[in-house]
Structures are given as C-alpha cells and as structure tokens.
Amino acid sequence: MELTPVTDLPEIRPGDDLAALIADRADDLEREREGTVLTVASTVVSKAEGRTADLEDYPVSGRAEEIAARIEEVAGEEKDPRFAQAVLEESTELLIEAPFLLTETRFGHITVNAGIDRSNVPDHDLLLLPKRPTESAERIRRGLADHGYDDVAVIVTDTSGRPFRHGQRGVALGWAGMPASRDWRGERDRDGRELGVTVQSVVDELAGAANLVTGEGAGGTPAVVVRDWEFGDLEGSDELFRSVEDDLIRRALREWRFE
C-alpha cells in the first residue's frame, strides 16, 4: 500500500467544498483503482462545516463551575469554566470530570474534552468535532463521485489519546464506502487453531497510518490518499463504538467517577 498526502490545500473556511478542493489536487485519485481510501482530518471537516466556536458563546452553568473547580483542585491546573461548558454541551455522558474531562460525544465517540481542539484554529478559540462524522464522510464520498471518482472510501479521522499507554494516534470518527472492521473470527491461524475474538478495526489502523503522513502541526496536509489497499474477502462490520452493556470499562467508570 502507498500513502500520499494531498498537497496545496488552502486554509479551510466555512462552506468550503472539501471534496472539490481535494479532487482538484489529488493526482493519485486519477489513478483510481480498487482499494483507494481517502482519509481527511476532522479538523478541516469541522472548519468546512463551520464548527468553530468561542469561549464567550458558552454561558457557564453551575455544573461547569463545579467541574472547573474540581480540575483545579485535583490537577492544580487552571480550567476555564466556559471550556468545561463547551465540553458538556458537546457530550451525552460525563465519564471522568477530573483531573481531565472524558466524555461521550453526541455521535458516540468517547474522548478527552469531547475532542474539542484548540490547535490549528485561526480566528476562533475552539474547534468542535464534526456533528455527524459518518454523514461528513458520506458527503465527501458523494462529492468525489461527482468529480468522477466513483469508488473512493472516505475516513474522517482525529488524533486522540488512549487509556493505558502514553502517546496519541489517529482514530476513525466516521467512514463511508467500506466497513469499519474486518472479522477474522472463524479463520485459522498457522497452527490450525480457530480465531475466536479478533475483529480488526481497519478504519482505525488506516487512520493511524494516515496520521503518520498528516503530522500534527503546521504541515498543512489534512488529507491522505491510501492506494493499493484492499479490505479483502472477510466479513465486515460497522460496529466500532461499544454499547454500554458491552463496555466493562465504561460501567466501571460510572461507579467510580463521583466518589
């Protein structure tokens, strides 16, 4: 497989047609063949969708005051209660409130600060995640089809931390034109033993690989073309976010969090 950044994309503004901007610049898409995937950093999807905000947009609730005070107490770090308010408004469940905010976003992704970004956001304080990243991915995929690229799968990515390990990496927030995961259950290993649990989160692995190319700073390369990669013959699944019943860690946090 080969990963190539889409170069020369401008600073993205509200209302920009990302698919058109990318189609004009991605020579690699012209050599389209089976197994082409386009990854797009959620940062530019959010910018195109006008998901910028300012701290002054968030009148502070008592809950946000409380959270900011707790974070200051536990982490010794000054927290703007308006930021806590923004996180609450983007979230459906608060899993950890201090020393950092861990929440479930409205579209089901669990991440620190509801994924609200303060880097790469000129003219505004905050950049919220896309409202519905799957719909964003579908829209970009349709836009590419309008430009003659009929079968490019699209993954909207973000950089995210993870439990248990230091370091951040790319994850998939939404995708279109391919399943999220590849189900290896029932396949056999080299000893002939049947695999019982392995469902490979392909969209996250592609997001991680693409993040190596986009970088995290001023590179200006939010979109990456992944060529010569194929999903293969295994069954696919679109289930990536665990349901509450299925999520031991989340249930443990629910019991622990307000002690």
Q: Interface with ligand GDP by CB under 6 A: which residues? A: 9, 11-12, 41-44, 47, 117, 119-120, 158-159, 214-222
Place of tokens 């690989």: 209
**Which residue has the closest beta carbon to Mn ion?**
159
Q: Given the complex with ligand GDP, which of 108 and 220 has the nearer CB atom? A: 220
Question: Considering the complex, what minimum distance in angstroms separates the CB of residue 197 from Mn ion?
Answer: 11
Kind of pairing between the strands at 153-160 and 91-96? unpaired
Q: Given the complex with ligand GDP, which of 40 and 178 has the nearer CB atom? A: 40
Per-residue binding letters, 125-164, with Mn ion (x by CB under 5 A): ---------------------------------xx-----
Question: Considering the complex, what minimum distance in angstroms separates the CB of residue 213 from Mn ion?
Answer: 11
**Residue 44 binding result from Mn ion, ligand GDP, none, given CB thresholds of 5 to 8 Å by partner type:** ligand GDP
**Under the criterion CB under 5 A, does residue 216 sit at the interface with Mn ion?**
yes
Range list of H helices, the chain: 18-25, 27-30, 42-48, 62-75, 81-89, 133-146, 202-214, 248-256
Residues whose CB falls within 8 Å of the CB of residue 144, separated by 6 or more in sequence, listed in order: 19, 22, 23, 29, 38, 152, 154
Other residues' Cβ atoms within 10 Å of the Cβ of residue 236: 14
How many angstroms separate the Cα of 177 from the Cα of each of 29, 38, 57, 83, 145? Answer: 15, 10, 36, 35, 11
**Residue 11 binding result from Mn ion, ligand GDP, none, given CB thresholds of 5 to 8 Å by partner type:** ligand GDP
Q: Given the complex with Mn ion, which of 90 and 149 has the nearer CB atom? A: 90
**Residue 221 binding result from ligand GDP, Mn ion, none, given CB thresholds of 5 to 8 Å by partner type:** ligand GDP
Q: Given the complex with ligand GDP, which of 167 and 192 has the nearer CB atom? A: 167
Q: Given the complex with Mn ion, which of 79 and 109 has the nearer CB atom? A: 109
177, burial (CB in 10 Å: exposed 0-12, middle 13-18, buried 19+): buried
Q: Given the complex with ligand GDP, which of 25 and 147 has the nearer CB atom? A: 25
Question: Considering the complex, what minimum distance in angstroms separates the CB of residue 133 from ligand GDP?
Answer: 11
157, burial (CB in 10 Å: exposed 0-12, middle 13-18, buried 19+): buried
How far is 31 from 163, CA to CA, in rounded Å?
Answer: 39
Residues 82-121 that bind Mn ion (CB under 5 A): 117
How far is 188 from 193, CA to CA, in rounded Å?
Answer: 5
Question: Considering the complex, what minimum distance in angstroms separates the CB of residue 235 from ligand GDP?
Answer: 30
Question: Considering the complex, what minimum distance in angstroms separates the CB of residue 186 from Mn ion?
Answer: 16
**Residue 47 binding result from Mn ion, ligand GDP, none, given CB thresholds of 5 to 8 Å by partner type:** ligand GDP
Kind of pairing between the strands at 126-127 and 52-53? antiparallel
How far is 242 from 245, CA to CA, in rounded Å?
Answer: 8
Measure the CA dihedral 84/86/88/92, to 10°: -150
Residues that bind Mn ion (CB under 5 A): 117, 158-159, 216
